[in-house]
Amino acid sequence: MPSAIPALPFYLLVTAIIGGALMTIFSRNVVHAAFWLLEAMVAVSGLFLLLSAEFLALVQLLVYAGAVAVLTLFVIMLTLRRREDAIRPLDTSVAAAGLAAVFGIVTAIAVGGFSPLPARMPAAAPGIAQFGGELFTRWALPFEVASVVLLIALVGAVWWSGEDEDQ
Amino acid sequence: MRSYLLIAPELVMLASALLAMFADVLPVRGRRVAAWIGAAGAAAALVIALAVGPGSVTLFGSMLRFDSLAVFARAATAGLTSVYLLWLAGNGASVGRTREATTLALLAAMGAMLMSGARDLVLLFLTMEAATMPAYVLIGFDRGDERGLEGALKYFLLSMVTSLVMLYGMAFLFGMSGTTSLDGLRVTAFGSLGLIAAVLTIVGLLAKLAAAPFHYWSPDAYAGAPAFSVAFVSSVPKIAGVVALVRVVGVLGPQVRGLTDVMLTVAVASMVIGNFAAFGQKDVRRLMAYSGVAHVGYLLLALAGGTEAGSIGAVLYAVAYAVPSMAIMFVVAEEGPTLDDMDGLLSRRPLAAWAMLVFLLSLVGVPPLAGFFGKLYMFSAALDAGLVWPVVLAFAFSAVSAGYYFGIVRSAFLGQRPRAVRVRSTRNRAADVAIAICLLATVLLGLLAGPMLSVLGYALR
Amino acid sequence: MSYLLTTIVFLPLAAAVICAMLPKDLAGAAKWVAATVMAFDVTLVGWLLATFDVRGGVQAVVDIPWVPQIAIRYHLGADGISLAMLALSALLGLIAVVASWKMDKSPGTYFVMLMLLQVGMNGVFVALDLVLFYVFWELVLVPMYFLIAMWGGERRSYASLKFFLYTLAGSVFMLVGIIALYLYSGPNNTFDIAELVRASAGGAFNGIQGWLFLAFFLGFAVKVPIWPLHTWLPDAHVEAPTAASVLLAGVLLKMGTYGFIRIALPILPVAAKAWAPWIAALAVISIVYGASVAFAQTDVKKLIAYSSVSHMGFVMLGIASGTAAGLDGAVAVMVSHGLVTGLLFLMVGMVYERTHTRQIAELSGLSSQVPAIGGILAFASFASLGLPGLSGFVGEFLSLLGSWQSTLVPHWMTVVAAVGVMLAAAYMLWMVQRVVLGEASEAVSRISDITAREVAYVLPLIGLTVLVGVYWNSLLRFVDPAVQGIVTILARVV
Amino acid sequence: MTWLLAIPLLPALAFALLAPLPRVTRNALRWVPAVAMAGSLAGALAAFAMVLRSGGGDQPIYHTSFAIATIGGKALDVGIQLDAVAAIMLLVVTIVGMCVQVYSLGYMHRDGRVGWYFAVLSLFSAAMLGLVLASDFLLLYMCWEVMGLCSYLLIGFWHTQEAPRMASIKAFLTTRVGDVGFAIALAIMYASVGSFGFAAVLHGYSWTPALATAVSLLLLFGAMGKSAQVPLHVWLPDAMAGPTPASALIHAATMVAAGVYLVARAMPLFEISQVALTVTLVVGTGTALLGALLATVQHDIKKVLAYSTISQLGYMFIALGTGSAVAGLFHLMTHAFFKSLLFLGAGVIIHAVHTQDMREMGGLRKLLPWTTAAFTAGALALAGVFPFSGFWSKDEILVSLWSGGHYVVFALALFAAFLTAFYMTRLWFRVFAGPAQKPEVREAHVEMIVPMVLLAGISLVVGFASPFFATFLGEHGGWPDIMMAVGSSAVATSGIVAGWWVFGKKAVDTEALKARFPHLYGIFDNKFYFDRTYEFVFVNAYNRLSDALWTFDTKVIDGAVDGFGHAWSAVAGGSWTFDAKVIDGAVMGLASTVTWIGARVRRLQAGRVQTYQRLVMAAVILLVLWIALKGA
Amino acid sequence: MSAVVGLREFLVLSAVLFALGLYGALSKKSAIMILMAIELMTNAVNIALIAMSRFLTPGLMTGQFFAAFIMVVSTAEIGLGLALVLALYRRTRTVEVDRIDRLKG
């Protein structure tokens, strides 16, 4: 395991992520935004690889990049009656920008102050096997609750997509 | 073995939820069989929860510990859900497909019950999401009505953002303390980042309870939603929400200077906005939304006191608030959401009218009902902690609240215009039994406060 | 451990439940249920009166823990003063039931409300635990709200909600006071009045007696009512049905003054003495203000309502004086005002039943058309203006004596109060002049005189007014020992 | 000796018996009070005999009391006693009372509510007897007030007419003004002595001069109310609206005398403070003069007698002012007899000519022989002509004045005596002399004549008892010296001669006199503007005050609570509309205010999700910044 | 740009990404865009979590589990959200958040 993270790939990925996010937010075409989001997700999964969290990188790729992005595209397709509906005036709001900027700055400063930030990365990092082992021992209960959450989402989605037959 | 016994109530709830979902498969016919199953299941969970009593679950990395406070919350949640489903069984026809509603209610209740025992940030987050997601669907349950869906969307979006803010806070809490278990959280060494992380986490919890200034979703959501779903959403999840807040504030409070001031400001804001906005309301659902904000304000005042008695008083009051407000929404669901629908209720359904009066009086805090004793404990704890003028303000507001609550009483009792024909008189005995149980609970919670408090392991003195 | 007081207090609750259970068509029977229960209640109180040992302090005590966690006890007991008020409350309760015999508008619910009101009234005078006292105090609010709101006059919804909110707002401060007492009552916190008195003597509340007294003062002053918190009284009286007015004037007003005597004075003697001149000033204003405004009234009931403000001013003067004579006078006015104003409202009720008007301009010459009603109304008016030989004089005279004797009340205030007595004669006689004497007016000319039933419920009031007026000790025998206890507490404080 | 209690209780029982009865049976039993009064008379005579046997003096020969209340552990005693003063007063009240009862049986028998009249008369007598027998100021005060009530009921007996109604309320309130002083005096007594008994208060407590002055002046103020002294005399002339026999009893003999009796009782207190005595003297003189002056110009026969009573009461207060209670009481006794006689006579005259205005009378000398004789006896007694009782008692007062060195007052008293003789002669000539304007008049019935004759006889005889009267009361008695007797007789006769000269011979044209001094006559006519000033200063002012307070009550206090909302909206310019259910439901303006604030608070709830999001995040950021700055 | 990449860089990245997502959520009118913004914010949180877990507590993988569960939950919620948006679209023919403001007061 490399004891330190090589600077070049990290910064490459950072530009990909931030660029993707910026394009998602500021693109006028909803479809383009969806694709840029997809690009950002893939970059994030790369970042996870850098942090030697292989399982999470894989999950990120499959779940977010695959399912969510595709699902978003589906809904966009369903809600566009005409092609040109996709092009929408760029919604900008100074208030939102102000609030987001303040929040970002405050957290950044606070993080800066996070005194014991080790620059060096510790050597050993547990692999997927240990992740799998712990998932079904220490984290079994959250796992079950997560499954319930999925069930609820399922019931809700089915309910809302169902037809509104007679009361 | 002990651990499985401890989470038996939750398992029973899950089982009955699944059974309710596949009610069609069962041989028993009838649209409302799901609700009956649900009601029975929840009742069983209540009994087990009380029987098993407190204890800590050694399995699963001891993320779950049910102390007496949690036992009380779990029992109350199960009991209320059982009464809710009993009422639902009685009103099934007017509510449409009860199967989905029952399942969602049971799953939400299960999530809430687990939440009251969660001692770990991850589990807390997961159980909280499990408890609130069904609320989105229940609020927008009436698929045909876009106002309901609009309410659900607003609730959804606002909750998502506040949950993310909470997650962001939790992430840093984890980062600083190295562990996600509640007891191990240490933020003191990390300067302002620790403080910020704590506040962000607590904001998420406050938003779930619809405390001001994070309450904006609740008036629109309740006003759009069908009354029967407001009955559930406005009462049951709040109990567990308060317990969670008690846990988090209990851990972070001593470490973060000024946290109690934040709680105090939010409490006073909730009282002011809740009470004043409720005046002049003509839709009872919206009125109850603002009343909910006001009562959360009273709760937070007790928690701001920071004493152990305050937190127990707050949980007791959460239940003392939940029972009457749910029952009021039952009657509103049967009669119609606006004040005019309530006109002449006394002449049409005298028992319901008297019950409504008792529930409203309990919310105002008139003795000898539950509301009064709840406020008495909470505010004596708060006064003990020196918060004199906020308590006086709280008492003054509860007096003022009689103004808008009595708007409902006046229409019900003095309204002259009995509505010509009752459109949906399809409710049957079960619904009335449910209301009767709530009535009994509101009165007994007041009179038998003593024994009930011993269940809570109350040690004020 | 005697169950007598518990039965006396909660018997009407049983009646209320029975009346509530009555089916629609049997609602007429509700009045019989109420009457028998109240009759039995009165006999029980009578028995308690008979066996009451005047020297024995608090008797018929029942004291069991209710919510042990925060020391709330179900603690009932009666000393001289509470016994006098309990008797008044039970008697007026029975009379109110008999007086509303011809109530036809949903009688079932009416008598349920009346009985609930009775529980609150009986309970508040014998509760010796502050929370229990507060529970009964609030219990009275709701039934009275409904009695006014559902069976009242034209502006009933306005008057009833005003009554409810005024008293509720006041009682909010009282509750804060009660909790503060609980918290500061030394090592083991308690709500029990006797223990609080001991704790106060031991200096438990020394720093904050002023604030505590303010809290209790606001709570009780609204109920008494003391000027300027009195504006709810005329509306509530005018719009309330006769029986409700009798109970409102006869008993509910006394809960405020009883609160002062039972709670504020013994537990917070230092503050009571400090506040006494201010309370006396407000009392004197109430006396003169009430009398003067009564003089300008066109509605008889409103006149009597303002006269109540004036009479309660005397009670507060007596309480502020802190002397034995003053406090004896205060309780005497409370009892006599209950009897006399109750009688006045009953007579006005009878007149209203027959003539359907309360306007003084439209009523005149009652004594020529209906001599019995006219005579009794005149009798009640003379009792009200404090004619010696009738109970009205006893209380007011002793209050004047007490306030002159007391070092707390400046002498000029007693003089103004004495002038107040004269003003009372002015508006009362002016009313008798216009209503009872003179030619029978058009509204009065065809009405029938008093019936046997009405005589039945009026007679006890007349009898008691004369008895107390002639032989003062019939009442003071019970009240004086209890008052001495309070006076010693006040005396101990320098 | 407990049968003494029977004296006041008998008439009280008669009242208790008659009051609740229906009108018809009550009228039938109208004789019962007369029987009760006879019983009391017998008792009074027996009591007088016993006191006579024991030699009189100021020590009570019998005293009993009973605890009416226990205040702060100490008993408050109330009781009755029999001493010389009480015995005399008992005699006076019962004799006059008996005569009035008998007379009324004749006078009132045609009236529809005669039963009620006798019942109240009986209650009045009981109260007066109770007052006289009282051994403490408390019982005295209670009977004092009950008497006030009876005078209210009797004056307003014919309550269907406007005048009696107004007169009765005026009488009650004016006396009540006096009673305020009395009540405060009692408060002072209780505060200093701790009890009200005569023995304790008058003899058992060492009063400081200042406190004694205060108590005596307050008692005097109370007495002035009841005994119609200036300035509280305005109610007596109007009280003539009541039935004449009632006036005879109340406004001649008993009630008005109660004030004098009270001061006489409290004389030990008055003697401690010189100020109180001089004030009494001044009040007495003023009243005597004013009464006499006004009596000379009245046209209504009863008004003349009313002002004459005021004047004579003034005399009694003069006597008390000089410190000699004996002279006061003696004049009280003699005045009671001849003034009640005059009233009863006036009653017969009014009954005969059906009017009270003397200008329509005349020449009744021959038509009403018995009445004229009795009336003349009374008139002479009043004028103070030897040997009638008036002469002796007035003489006593003049002696005590002279010996007390009050020469100015002595002169004024003589002038008042002259005026008294003058107006009585004027009355005599107006009523009895000259041509009979109403010839068809018949003499009164026998039950009206007998009491008058009896009273005339007593007025003639009782004067001679004056020397024994003083010793009986425990002070040195004796015949008045000759010089004073001659002087007063001279004044009296010159008054009569002047009266005869003006009214008998009509030598002076009174009309011209009036024309020449119009404004002087105006003053007299308006009764020195007392009524007008009281009306304006007190009654109207109080009316305006109570209306002002009533509007203050509804508009300001109530309004403050109600109006707050509307005022707020006017200030804030907010125009919020809410339906009737909220308006009529809004208990107070407060509710409309709160609804208005509610509307403002809800403005943020405008329905757009984004605004909600931004508001929430803004709140979050604020909290974060607050905590970060607080924490750092 | 310091030569070696430390935890601070990751956390700053997470803060910037979170701010961007927050801006998107607060400013966008279309519900779908808001959901996308929310996904960005979720990823920001995950980055922070995994970075801190990797740098501060290499031994145990709590942060990674937390992130994993966050992913599960947020995916479920976005699915539900999209279903809700679709249902609402079917009724009101719009996904513009600020045009659906019939509930107010």
The 10s digit of each residue's pLDDT in A62-114 is 888 888 888 888 888 888 777 666 777 777 778 888 888 999 888 888 887 76
Helix (H) or strand (E) holding D144: helix D137-155
* β-bridge partners, D63: D81
Q: Is E59 on the interface with A (CB under 8 A)?
A: yes
HSE at residue C93, side-chain half, CA atoms within 13 A, is 35
- Identify whether A25 is part of a domain: yes
Alpha carbon of E104: minimum distance to chain D alpha carbons (Å) = 5
pLDDT at D58: 73
Q: What is the pLDDT of residue B170?
A: 92
In eight-state DSSP terms, residue D240 is G
Q: Tokens 């018949």 identify what position?
A: D442
Q: Pick the more confident residue, E4 or C35.
A: C35
Q: What is the pLDDT of residue B28?
A: 66
Question: What residues make up the domain containing A23?
Answer: 1-88
Q: Indicate the number of domains in chain B.
A: 1
Who has greater pLDDT, C15 or C189?
C15
Q: What is the mean pLDDT of residues B397-411?
A: 84
Kindly determine whether residue D68 and residue C487, on different chains, have CB atoms separated by under 8 Å: no
The residue range of the domain holding B22 is 2-460
The pair of structure tokens assigned to C172 is: 């909010």
Number of neighbours of residue D436 by Cβ within 10 angstroms: 16
pLDDT at C257: 94
**Would residue B424 be called left, alpha or beta, if left means φ above 0 and alpha means ψ between -120 and 50 degrees?**
beta
CB atoms within 10 A of CB C14: 14
pLDDT at B58: 61
Of the listed ranges B258-262, D98-102, D459-463, D552-556, the least confidently predicted one is D552-556
Q: pLDDT band at residue A165, thresholds of 50, 70 and 90?
A: low
pLDDT-based confidence at residue D363 (cuts at 50, 70, 90) = confident
Share of chain C above pLDDT 90, in %: 47
Mean pLDDT within B186-199:
81
What is the mean pLDDT of the segment spanning E58-77? Answer: 88
D621 vs A93, A103, A110: nearest CB: A103
What is the model's pLDDT at position C84? 94
Question: Which amino acid belongs to residue D254?
Answer: T
- List, for residues B304-313, the tens digit of each pLDDT value: 887 888 888 8
Q: How far is CA C436 from CA B276, C137, C373, C424, in A?
A: 51, 38, 9, 17
Do chain E and chain B touch with ≥3 beta carbon pairs under 8 Å? yes
- Residue type at B36 in one-letter notation: W
- Please report the pLDDT score of residue C44 as a whole number: 93
Whether D590 has a pLDDT exceeding 80, the answer reads no
- Mean pLDDT of all residues belonging to chain C: 89
Q: What are the structure tokens assigned to D384, written together?
A: 């103070």
Give me the helix-helix angle, D407-432 and D274-295, nearest 10°: 30
**If we measure between CA atoms, which residue out of E15, E101, E14 comes closest to residue E50?**
E14
Alpha carbons A155 and A149: distance in angstroms, whole number: 10
- pLDDT on residue B92: 64
Three-state SS for D70?
A: strand
Residue A163 in any domain: the answer is yes
| Domain termination residue (choose one: A69, A88, A107) | A88
Q: How many CB atoms lie within 10 A of CB D445?
A: 15
**Three-state SS annotation for chain C:** CCCHHHHHHHHHHHHHHHHHHCCHHHHHHHHHHHHHHHHHHHHHHHHHHHCCCHHHCCEEEEEEEEEHHHCEEEEEEECHHHHHHHHHHHHHHHHHHHHCCCCCCCHHHHHHHHHHHHHHHHHHHHECEHHHHHHHHHHCHHHHHHHHHHHCCCCHHHHHHHHHHHHHHHHHHHHHHHHHHHHHCCCCCCCEHHHHHHHHHCCCCCCCHHHHHHHHHHHHHHHCCCCCCCCHHHHHHHHCCHHHHHHHHHHHHHHHHHHHHHHHHHHCHHHHHHHHHHHHHHHHHHHHHHHHHHHCCCEHHHHHHHHHHHHHHHHHHHHHHCCHHHHHHHHHHHHHHHHHHHHHHHHHHHHHHHHCCCEHHHCCCHHHHCHHHHHHHHHHHHHHCCCCCCHHHHHHHHHHHHHHHCCCCCHHHHHHHHHHHHHHHHHHHHHHHHHCCCCCCCCCCCCCCCCHHHHHHHHHHHHHHHHHHHCCHHHHHHHHHHHHHHHHHHHHCC
Q: Pick from D68, D177, D180: which is nearest to C473 by CB?
A: D68
Using the 3D structure, point to which of A88, A117, A149 is the last residue of a domain: A88
Q: Closest chain E residue to D617 measured between Cα atoms?
A: E26
In angstroms, what CA-CA distances link D326 with D321, D357, D412, D470?
12, 37, 21, 6
CA angle (A135 as vertex; A133, A139 as ends), nearest 5? 130
Alpha-carbon distance B411 to B340, whole Å?
7
Given a contact cutoff of 8 angstroms between Cβ atoms, the answer to whether D191 and D215 are in contact is: no
What does the pLDDT read at residue B205? 92
- Strand residue runs (E) in chain A: none
The pLDDT value recorded for residue C165 is: 79
Question: Which of the 8 DSSP states describes residue D476?
Answer: -
**pLDDT in the model for residue C91:** 95
Band (pLDDT 50/70/90 cuts) for residue D587 is very low
Q: What pLDDT score does D59 carry?
A: 79
Cβ distance E41 to A115 under 8 Å? no
Q: Is D67 on the interface with C (CB under 8 A)?
A: yes
pLDDT of residue D574: 34
For position D248, what pLDDT does the model report?
83
Chains that touch C (3 or more CB pairs under 8 A): B, D
Q: Which amino acid is residue D169, in one-letter code?
A: I
Q: Which two tokens stand for residue B50?
A: 């009380």
Average pLDDT of the residues of chain A: 82
B129 pLDDT band, cuts 50/70/90, is very high
pLDDT at C207 over 50: yes
Residues of chain E with Cβ-Cβ distance to B219 below 8 Å are 103, 105
Answer whether residue E99 is part of any domain.
no
Q: What CA–CA distance (Å, rounded) separates D186 from D219?
A: 9
Q: With an 8 Å Cβ cutoff, are B220 and D605 in contact?
A: yes
Separation between Cα atoms, residue D308 and residue D313, nearest integer Å: 9
Write down the pLDDT at residue D185: 92
Domain count, chain A: 2
| A122, D379, E35 from D346: Cα distances, Å | 131, 11, 112
Round the average pLDDT of chain D to a whole number and report it: 83
- The answer as to whether A110 is a domain residue is no
Overall average pLDDT of the D392-412 stretch? 85
> How many CB atoms are located within 10 Å of the residue D494 CB?
14
Q: Report residue C268: phi and psi, to 5°.
A: -120, 60
Residue D328 pLDDT grade (very low, low, confident, very high; cuts 50, 70, 90): confident
Contact A110 D614 (CB under 8 A): no
Helix axes D389-403, D446-461, angle to 10 degrees: 40
- pLDDT at res. E2: 53
Of C8-12, C28-32, D586-590, the range with the highest mean pLDDT is C8-12
Of D71, D191, D587, the CB nearest to C161: D587
Handedness of CA C267, C271, C273, C279 (dihedral sign): negative
Digit-coded pLDDT (tens) for C356-414 = 888 888 888 888 888 889 889 999 999 999 899 899 999 999 999 999 988 888 999 99
- pLDDT score at B106: 93
- The pLDDT score that the predictor gives to residue B460 is 35
Q: Provide the number of structural domains found in chain E.
A: 1
Does the beta carbon of D581 lie under 8 angstroms from any beta carbon of chain B?
Answer: yes
The CA-based angle C231-C233-C235, given to 5 degrees, is 85
- Whether chains C and E touch (3+ CB pairs under 8 A) is answered by no
Amino acid letter for position B321? Y
When computed from its CA atoms, the radius of gyration of chain E, rounded to whole angstroms, is 18
Q: Scanning every residue of chain D, which has its alpha carbon at the shortest distance from the alpha carbon of E19?
A: D617
Q: Which residues pair with C65 in a beta bridge?
A: C73
Q: Is B154 on the interface with D (CB under 8 A)?
A: yes
Q: What number of CA atoms fall less than 13 Å from residue C84's CA on the CB side?
A: 30
- The predicted model gives E62-74 an average pLDDT of 90
- Whose structure tokens read 């152990």? B308
pLDDT band at B457 (very low <50, low <70, confident <90, very high): low
Query: What residues of D are in contact with residue E98 (Cβ under 8 Å)?
Result: 608-610
D428 — pLDDT class (breaks 50, 70, 90): confident
Contact D95, D458 (CB under 8 A): yes
Q: How many C-beta atoms lie closer than 10 Å to residue B189's C-beta?
A: 12
User: Taking all residues of chain B, what is their mean pLDDT, rounded to a whole number?
Assistant: 84
| E45 chain-B contacts, CB cut-off 8 A | 164, 167-168, 171
Question: Which residues on chain C are in Cβ contact (under 8 Å) with B400?
Answer: 165, 169
Residue-wise pLDDT for B337-361, tens only, equals 888 888 878 777 878 888 998 999 9
Please tell me the distance from the alpha carbon of residue B154 to that of residue B151, in angstroms, as a whole number.
5
Give how far A149 is from chain B: nearest CA, Å: 5
CB B224 to CB E103 under 8 A? Answer: yes
Is the pLDDT at D572 greater than 50? The verdict is no
Quick one: average pLDDT of C161-182? 85
**Residue D77's beta-bridge partner residues?**
D67
Q: Which of A120-134, D271-285, D618-632 has the highest mean pLDDT?
A: D271-285
Rg (CA), chain C: 21
User: Average pLDDT, stretch D266-282?
Assistant: 88
Q: Which residue has the tokens 């931004």?
A: D614
Q: State yes or no: cis peptide before B367, omega within 30 of 0.
A: no
Domain that holds residue E53: 7-92
CA distance to partner chain E, nearest, from residue D630 (Å): 22
Query: A35-44, A57-66, D356-365 — which is least confidently predicted?
Result: D356-365
* pLDDT value, residue D565: 44
Tell me which of B326-330, C342-346, D474-478, E82-86 is least confident. D474-478
| Chains in contact with D via at least 3 Cβ–Cβ pairs below 8 Å | A, B, C, E
Q: How far apart are CA B274 and CA A97, in angstroms?
A: 30
**Claim to verify: residue A54 and residue A132 sit in the same structural domain:** no
**pLDDT at E1 (0 to 100):** 47
Q: What residues of E are in contact with residue B133 (Cβ under 8 Å)?
A: 76-77, 80
Beta bridge partners of B118: B64
- Please compute the mean of the pLDDT values over residues D298-303 and round it to a whole number: 86
Predicted pLDDT of residue D576: 35
Would you place residue C66 in the very low, low, confident or very high pLDDT band (cuts 50, 70, 90)?
A: confident
By Cβ distance, the residue of E34, E73, E105 closest to B157 is E34
Separation CA A94–CA D463 (nearest Å): 116
CATH number at residue E22: 1.10.287.3510
Q: With beta carbons under 8 A apart, name residues in chain C contacting D553.
A: 231, 289, 293
Contact: D68, C289; criterion CB under 8 Å: no
Same domain, residue pair A82 and A131: no
pLDDT at D186 over 60: yes
Domain membership flag for residue E101: no
Given this model, what pLDDT does residue D582 score? 39
A113/B192 CB distance under 8 A:
yes
Number of Cβ atoms within 10 Å of the Cβ of B386: 10
How confident is residue B423, by pLDDT bands cut at 50, 70 and 90?
very low
pLDDT, one tens digit per residue, over C227-253 is 888 888 888 988 899 999 999 999 999
CA distances from B285 to B135, B185, B226, B278, B326 (A): 15, 39, 9, 10, 11
Tens digit of each residue's pLDDT (9 = 90 or more) over D551-560:
877 776 666 5
Find the mean pLDDT for residues B443-448. Answer: 81
The pLDDT of residue B30 is 62
Per-residue pLDDT tens digits for C101-133: 888 888 888 999 999 999 999 999 999 999 999
Q: D181-190, D204-213, D581-590, E94-103 — which is least confidently predicted? A: D581-590
Of the candidates B254, B196, E40, the one whose C-alpha atom is nearest the C-alpha of residue A112 is B196
Average pLDDT over residues C285-292: 90
Q: Is residue E42's pLDDT more than 90?
A: yes
With both helix axes pointing from N to C terminus, report the angle between D162-192 and D209-226 in degrees, rounded to the nearest 10. 160
Which chain D positions have a beta carbon within 8 Å of C228's beta carbon? 557
First to last CA, chain A: 62
> So what's the pLDDT on residue B81?
93
Q: Buried (b) or exposed (e) across D25-34, using 16+ Cβ within 10 A? A: ebbebbebbb
Contact across the interface for B372 and C142, Cβ inside 8 Å? no
